[in-house]
Every structure is written in C-alpha cells, then in structure tokens.
Chains A and B, each alone.
Chain A
C-alpha cells in the first residue's frame, strides 16, 4: 500500500483482557517501529525491527508487552492482561533503514475500561 496501515483504529477492552494490534508497513521498508503516545505527550519508543529481527525492545514497559514480525513485513503488538495505564495511542512507523525518515500510520487508540 501507499502508507503504513494500522488496525484496528480503535480498540476498547476490559482490564485483564489481551489485545493484538496490527501494523502493515510501507512495501519494501525494512525497519519497523512501535511507539506509544499518551495524551499531550510526544511518542515514546517501544520496540524496533529490522526485517524479522527484533533489534531493540528496551522501551516495552513490562513483560506483558510482546511484538513480533515473523516474515519481515506485517507486525503485531500484543498486550496481555491489559491495565488501565495501557490506554494510549499506539503508533507504528516504517522506514527504508539507514537513518532515513520514519513514516507513521494513523495509530490505534486503545482504551482499557
């Protein structure tokens, strides 16, 4: 596709449920990033893939957060046993690599009740 595609756009879950967020990067982009953005703040780095390899997961807040990109294209961010503080917008970005700019998807707004 022409841009980064994320689904769902909105997700409401009850505390304790598991959720899965999907990201389809720009075709040919080897690098894929996940960020979390709280209201009124800049995005915060969660994790980064180069092709299928997860090179950095230092930003994941806890072991409840898990990301994968098994075939080097589509990525899924999974949050287990959700808590209210997980409520945020989750942004996915992709880039060709090599310090080139990242391009963001529309994000998934997650609300935990």
Chain B
C-alpha cells in the first residue's frame, strides 16, 4: 500500500460545479495535513492546512479530515478555469515535519 493515495485522474469538472479531491494515508501518526496546488511547470503552492478532525473552510475551499478513517479531502466550490491544476495531498510523516506527497490529481475545469 502506498503511503498516500489520491483519487486517480484526470478529473474533469464543469465551471461552477463542485470539485471533490480525495486522499487516504497509511501513517496513523500523521498530525498535520496539507493540500498544495501545482500548475504545470511551477512549484507547489499551499492551498489548505488542517490539523484536527472535521471541516475547515477558506473561501471556496473546504478541507475535511477524518483521522479514524485516515482520510482527507478537498472540496472546491464554484470551480473556475483557473482552478485547473494538479492537487497534491501531503500529510506529515509520524508527526514529524517532513511531508509525504501523493502522486497528485490533475483537475480540469471546463468553461
């Protein structure tokens, strides 16, 4: 089993709809969870961080964490073409600061 698994892409969503990105992780000791957005040829950009179970909302983005299920998700409401990118899920490793990244989910928002 991979340490971090993300829903396979590419994922295509019409403009204005909700995009749902999912991630499962294997390390029960993980304490911090991050979602990064990466445009082609660019470096990862932090979108959301979440540390406790439940939902965390920031503008059009909502992160959801369920530590018992080892599951974290990212919802993007009112999707825009500028949201088209690869989204990377990154929990820390065993509560340490280093991150382990999933392979990423490529999201395309269709106008």
Asked whether, in the complex, the Cβ of B44 is within 8 Å of the Cβ of A31, the reply is: no
Report A54 CB to chain B, min CB distance, Å: 12
Asked whether, in the complex, the Cβ of A99 is within 8 Å of the Cβ of B98, the reply is: no
Residues on the B chain within 8 Å of A40, using CB? 103
| A61 interface hit (Cβ, 8 Å) | no
Separation of A103 and B51 alpha carbons in the complex (Å):
17
Number of residues from A at the complex interface, CB < 8 A:
23
Of A41, A45, A103, A107, the residue contacting B99 (CB under 8 A) is A45
Report A88 CB to chain B, min CB distance, Å: 13
Separation of A107 and B49 alpha carbons in the complex (Å):
22
Asked whether, in the complex, the Cβ of B46 is within 8 Å of the Cβ of A101, the reply is: yes
Asked whether, in the complex, the Cβ of B43 is within 8 Å of the Cβ of A33, the reply is: no
Asked whether, in the complex, the Cβ of A104 is within 8 Å of the Cβ of B49, the reply is: no
Contact of A97 with B97 at beta-carbon distance under 8 Å, contacts A42-B103, A103-B46 already known: yes
| B88 interface hit (Cβ, 8 Å) | yes
| A48 interface hit (Cβ, 8 Å) | yes
Q: What is the interface of chain B mostly: helix, strand, loop, or mixed? A: loop
Residues on the A chain within 8 Å of B43, using CB? 91, 104-107
Q: Give 1 or 0 for each of B94-111: 1 = CB within 8 Å of chain A CB.
A: 001111111110000000
| A102 interface hit (Cβ, 8 Å) | yes
Separation of A105 and B44 alpha carbons in the complex (Å):
8
Among A80-113, those with CB < 8 Å from B are 91, 95, 97, 99, 101-107
B interface residues with partner A (beta carbon < 8 Å)? 4, 31-32, 34, 36, 42-46, 49, 51, 88, 90, 92-93, 96-104
A–B pairs, 20, beta carbons within 8 Å: A33-B97, A33-B99, A41-B104, A42-B90, A42-B101, A42-B104, A43-B44, A43-B88, A45-B93, A45-B99, A99-B32, A99-B92, A101-B46, A102-B34, A102-B46, A103-B46, A104-B44, A104-B45, A106-B42, A107-B43
Which 4 A-B pairs have CB atoms at the shortest separation, nearest pair first? A42-B101, A104-B43, A99-B32, A45-B98
